[in-house]
């Protein structure tokens, strides 16, 4: 599903709340996700950095750091913004068959849009193939201890679970992530289904009661996938181009890897994205909107004709240079002079 560029479904999946859990930050997250965010334009660039870490591994902290260094990041928000989901699925299928032509087209398009780095899930699934296609790029994989990471990843999916049920799944289809995992890594990601994993207290509002993808027996599968992604990168990308990075280590190893010389930045605090805290507050807002959805629809129906009349009146009143508007104005106000 695509929208105009100034109104796109985006960034709750970002959740970058660096030490800020305020409602103002949460409102911004929700607004950008629902398509009320302005898209900053930028001239074409060159792809330089590939993020290979999964969500919950420190990928968003790394993203903030790279943005401080001047990079423009392509992530899941960007996929939704530009309507690229189907294109990446087609790219994945061709890669599986040994064809890289569509991947080259996609990367050229990203560079034309000004992106200089890819980051986070699901773009990390393409890191090895992109690194081979763009041999000048460097790959950074953020990591945590396995149990910490899979717990964080499960928490994020739990908080974002409203996005895969009513009413939000009427606007946004996130199953392209599921398809990419299956095509590229032969990994099964079971989504919640009604009524086994979903409660429907209202016809338009559903609540996920359990996540089958993160049941106890499934967690080890995620850890195994994480290890497979890292192993493939270690095998296919030279050590000079590949960095396994823990955000707790700070700026120094990152700056050295990227050959950036900034003594002040090297001793400063590394960004910390409190992703879970920001998403929890935004989740509350999404639930409030979802529960009261009929009221919003009634309000929209009530306002639309009234706003339309107002706009038409303004058009007629302030654009008398149009013959039809001038005649209507004079007919309705015979004693008034048009401007």
Q: What is the mean pLDDT of residues 263-275?
A: 88
In a domain, 196, yes or no: yes
Q: What is the DSSP letter of 269?
A: P
In a domain, 5, yes or no: no
The verdict on 186 and 260 lying in the same domain is: yes
In a domain, 337, yes or no: no
pLDDT digits (tens, 9 = 90+) for 278-295: 788 888 889 999 999 999
> Is residue 183 within 8 Å of 91, Cβ to Cβ?
no
Which residues constitute the domain of residue 208? 11-291
pLDDT category at 260 given cuts 50, 70, 90 is very high
The verdict on 312 and 235 lying in the same domain is: no
- 128 or 308: which carries more pLDDT confidence? 128
The verdict on 192 and 214 lying in the same domain is: yes
The verdict on 100 and 33 lying in the same domain is: yes
The verdict on 287 and 314 lying in the same domain is: no
The verdict on 163 and 221 lying in the same domain is: yes
% of the chain at pLDDT higher than 90? 69
In a domain, 267, yes or no: yes
The verdict on 314 and 198 lying in the same domain is: no
pLDDT digits (tens, 9 = 90+) for 298-308: 998 998 888 88
- The interaxial angle of helices 275-291 and 293-318, nearest 10 deg, is 80
Is the per-residue pLDDT at 329 higher than 70?
A: no
* Structural domains counted in the chain: 2
Only one residue has tokens 């763009």, namely: 134
Q: What is the DSSP letter of 170?
A: G
In a domain, 6, yes or no: no
The verdict on 191 and 111 lying in the same domain is: yes
The verdict on 167 and 256 lying in the same domain is: yes
pLDDT digits (tens, 9 = 90+) for 39-68: 555 677 899 999 999 999 999 999 999 999
Nearest 5°: the CA angle 88, 54, 11 is: 65
In a domain, 158, yes or no: yes
In a domain, 220, yes or no: yes
The verdict on 312 and 274 lying in the same domain is: no
> What CATH number is associated with residue 197?
3.40.50.300
The verdict on 186 and 267 lying in the same domain is: yes
The verdict on 105 and 167 lying in the same domain is: yes
Beta strands in 88-177 (DSSP E): 117-118, 138-142
């Amino acid at each position: 599903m695509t929208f105009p560029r100034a109104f796109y479904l985006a960034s709750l999946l970002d959740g970058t709340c660096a030490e800020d859990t305020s409602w103002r930050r949460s409102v911004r997250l929700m607004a950008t996700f629902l398509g009320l965010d302005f898209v900053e334009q930028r001239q074409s660039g060159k792809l330089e950095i590939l993020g290979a870490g999964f969500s919950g591994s420190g990928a968003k902290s790394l993203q903030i750091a790279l943005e401080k260094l001047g990079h423009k990041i392509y992530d899941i928000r960007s996929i939704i913004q530009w309507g690229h989901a189907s294109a990446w699925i087609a790219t994945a299928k061709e890669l599986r068959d040994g064809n890289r032509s569509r991947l080259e087209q996609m990367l050229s398009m990203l560079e034309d849009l000004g992106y200089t780095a890819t980051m986070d899930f699901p773009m990390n699934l393409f890191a090895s193939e992109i690194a081979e296609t763009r041999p000048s790029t460097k790959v950074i994989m953020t990591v945590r201890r396995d149990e910490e990471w899979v717990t964080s990843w499960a928490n994020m999916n739990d908080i974002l679970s409203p996005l895969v049920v009513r009413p939000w799944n009427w606007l946004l289809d996130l199953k392209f992530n599921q398809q990419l995992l299956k095509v590229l890594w032969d990994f099964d990601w079971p989504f919640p289904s009604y009524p086994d994993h979903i409660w429907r207290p209202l016809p338009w509002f559903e609540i996920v009661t359990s996540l089958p993808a993160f049941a106890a027996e499934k967690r080890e599968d995620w850890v195994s996938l994480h290890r497979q992604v890292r192993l493939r990168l270690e095998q296919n990308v030279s050590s000079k181009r590949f960095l396994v990075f823990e955000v707790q280590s700070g700026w120094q190893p990152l700056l050295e890897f990227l050959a950036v010389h900034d003594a002040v930045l090297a001793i400063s605090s590394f960004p910390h994205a409190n992703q879970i805290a920001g998403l929890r507050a935004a989740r509350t807002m999404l639930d409030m909107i979802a529960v009261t959805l009929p009221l919003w629809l009634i309000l929209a129906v009530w306002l639309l004709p009234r706003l339309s009349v107002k706009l038409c009146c303004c058009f007629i009143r302030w654009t008398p240079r149009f013959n039809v508007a001038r005649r209507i104005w004079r007919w309705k106000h015979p004693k008034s002079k048009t401007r």
